Structure 1
Amino acid sequence: MEDLKSAMDDQMNQMADLVERFTAELRSGLRPAYDNFIGFFHAIDWKEPWLICLMLFHIVLLVVTFISRKNVNFQMCLFLLALSGVYLAETVNRLLGDNWKSFAGQNYFDPHGVFLSVLWSGPLLIVAIIILVNILFSLCQLMVRWKRAELRHRARLSRDKEE
């Protein structure tokens, strides 16, 4: 019984320590995250042509996503392509890291892939989420149309029986 009480006390102390650290981080606010973001933003040379092309690619992809919102088949292809791009991000990061001198002014491609995750995978995931929400919305509309057609069909059958 004494071992159980000791284990419970240890667990409570760990939980109290976790809560204390969490509240200390909340008290510090979002300032450290903001400072990290600003540092990341200023470390990038945004005038490099390949970065401009990358941003234009993401903008065009987003516009195509919104324009094709009624075409579910095309959107599913876009969805799979976006997720494939995210899946291949590690390989792309390695390839670009090996050849960065031929197109970039500095090596942005660290072994952890933070840069590519933020500027390649992040926008692709946002596009994939937009497509997913659109497809779910389309499916809900299809279910409503199907149910209405079913109710009209039942009403027609019951009307035919009465006659």
Structure 2
Amino acid sequence: MEDLRMALKDHADLASELFDRFSAELRRGFAPAVDNFLGFFHAVDWKEPWLIGVITFHVVFLLITIISRRNMNFQLSLSVLALSGVCFAETINSILAKRWKSFAGQNYFDTHGLFISALWSGPLLFITAVILVNTLFILCGLIVKWKRAELKHRARASRGKKD
């Protein structure tokens, strides 16, 4: 019995040590990401009119998505529009990289497309995910309605056979 207690204690100590290492790695792992995000945030001049326009576009697009959440066909159109914007992000990035001096204070449009991904594609993908979740909720509701109607139909049919 004492051997079992020692084995359990050793196992608990090992698990605790592994958990401590894992949590330390997580804390250390998020620090560079937070530093990169803060560097990105501070490098951008958020008062530029075109950036305000892009952000306003995404907010309005999200509001339209939320307001029209009951209209599945319109939601489908919005998701196609959003995904088209993501598909054309590389082309948009290359066009804006050539013409950045006419509208921006600095060139945000690198060859890897990090800025356009973060400020254009990311919000559009988020809105598409919102549309997808909404669609799943609506479909679940339709399945419940259908199943209830089926059960009512079966109950009526079984009552009709008994009479």
Work out whether the TM-score is over 0.5: yes
Partner of 2:131: 131
2:89 corresponds to 1:86: no
Give structure 1 stretches of 5+ with no counterpart: 1-21
Letter in 2 for 1:69: R
2-structure distance, mates of 1:37, 1:124 = 19
Partner of 1:54: 54
Partner of 2:18: none
Letter in 2 for 1:99: R
Letter in 1 for 2:41: F
Give a deviation string over 1:27-57, Cα, whole Å, max 9, x none. Answer: 6342211111111001101110000000000
Letter in 1 for 2:130: I
Partner of 1:111: 111
2-structure distance, mates of 1:26, 1:140 = 36
2-structure distance, mates of 1:59, 1:150 = 41
After alignment, is 25-34 or 121-130 more displaced? 25-34
The 1:27/1:148 distance shift into structure 2, 3 A limit, reads: closer
How far off its partner does 1:69 sit? 0.7
After alignment, is 58-67 or 153-162 more displaced? 153-162
2-structure distance, mates of 1:53, 1:144 = 42
**Count of residue pairs brought into register by the alignment:** 142
Letter in 1 for 2:57: F
Alignment of 1:6-155 (within 5 A): 26=26, 28-155=28-155
Segments of 4+ moved more than 3 angstroms? 22-27
2-structure distance, mates of 1:148, 1:26 = 47
2-structure distance, mates of 1:63, 1:27 = 35
Give the TM-score normalised by the residue count of structure 2: 0.82
Secondary structure, counterpart of 1:45 in structure 2:
coil
Give structure 2 stretches of 5+ with no counterpart: 1-21
Letter in 2 for 1:44: V
Identity rate of aligned residues, in percent?
65
How far off its partner does 1:23 sit? 8.8
The 1:71/1:90 distance shift into structure 2, 3 A limit, reads: same
Give the TM-score normalised by the residue count of structure 1: 0.82
1-structure distance, mates of 2:93, 2:146 = 46
